[in-house]
Amino acid sequence: MKTAIVTGAASGIGMGYATALVEQGYFVLVTDINEIGAKQVAERLTLRGPGKAEAALLDVTDPNAVAAAVHGVKDRFGRLDLMFNNAGLFIGGPVEELTVAHWRKAIDVMIAGVAYGVDAAYKIMVDQGFGGIVNTASMAGFTPFSYLGPYNTAKFAVVGMTLSLRGEASAHGIHVTAVCPIAVHTDIVAGANAGLDGNAPEFGYLAALYRRFGYLGHYLPDFILQDPVVHGRKVLRAVQRNRAIVIQPGYGRVLWWLGRIAPTLAPVVGHGAARLADSIRASITERWEQLPESVRNA
């Protein structure tokens, strides 16, 4: 049986990857720092088949834990076919209001966490002579958006890490892919800056709006806002075709091309967006503070 590991698979894009893999008959280790969520996903997918899924608690910022999970699958099945380094979180805000904790969290989870998965899986794959590594980046890894400094930084690093590895990995029969979603229906926005102090009121508003109205995203077509399972199936097909970069939904390629043709365009647009945001920020803050606690945390 082919095997795969997916980090950050208790929900969202990671859940979509795990679903697509089980549908193709893989054994999937569903890992997440949210152990209860991971177990629920694994149980549901195993009932669905034809593959199997098991859950494991995993903090990707712990290199020993990541290595243990990866080697556990290899020791048990004698092979590791695919490693999806997907765990991530949404971190940002005006840079002057960020703390070292914001930068450290982004680096620990979305750069170091990916590197730990690569380190453990790649060495196994070199020894066995096959395998694939899939790293979840973002269109923010090509197009830097204002107020997302830590997130942009991490995703640019993941793209660079992936493409750097891809060349030498191919000499060992290993495929390496960077996935760059632009709009997938997940709850990542609702957890913006989770556990960090100094959350910007704009992010609080955004999270509150998502918690209240996010379900409406299910009514949008996949070519605008992609369902995680649809996304997972498309990505898996692209990985099996050995694509270097996967951008979904497809209209994200327009931003990719614009970034190549006019690399300074994003900062120019960001300047205008920042000026606009600054001009309305006081009213947003005032309205946010007037909202009842029940609405803020709904």
Whether the CB-CB separation of 74 and 80 falls below 8 Å is answered with: yes
The DSSP secondary structure of 53-104, one letter per residue, reads EEEEE--TT-HHHHHHHHHHHHHHHS---EEEE---------GGG--HHHHH
Angle between helices 63-77 and 113-128 (to 10 degrees): 30
Q: Is 132 helix (H, G, I), strand (E, B) or coil?
A: strand
**Catalytic option among 147, 151, 215, 251:** 151
Q: Which of 48, 80, 49 is nearest to 67 (CA)?
A: 80
- The verdict on whether 219 is a catalytic residue reads no
Cα–Cα dist 217/249, whole Å = 14
Q: How far apart are CA 253 and CA 143, in angstroms?
A: 11
Neighbouring CB atoms inside 10 A of 183's CB total 18
Retrieve residue 26's tokens.
Answer: 């893989």
Between the CA atoms of 217, 14, 159 and 99, what dihedral angle is there, to the nearest 10 degrees?
A: 80
- Positions annotated as catalytic residues are 151
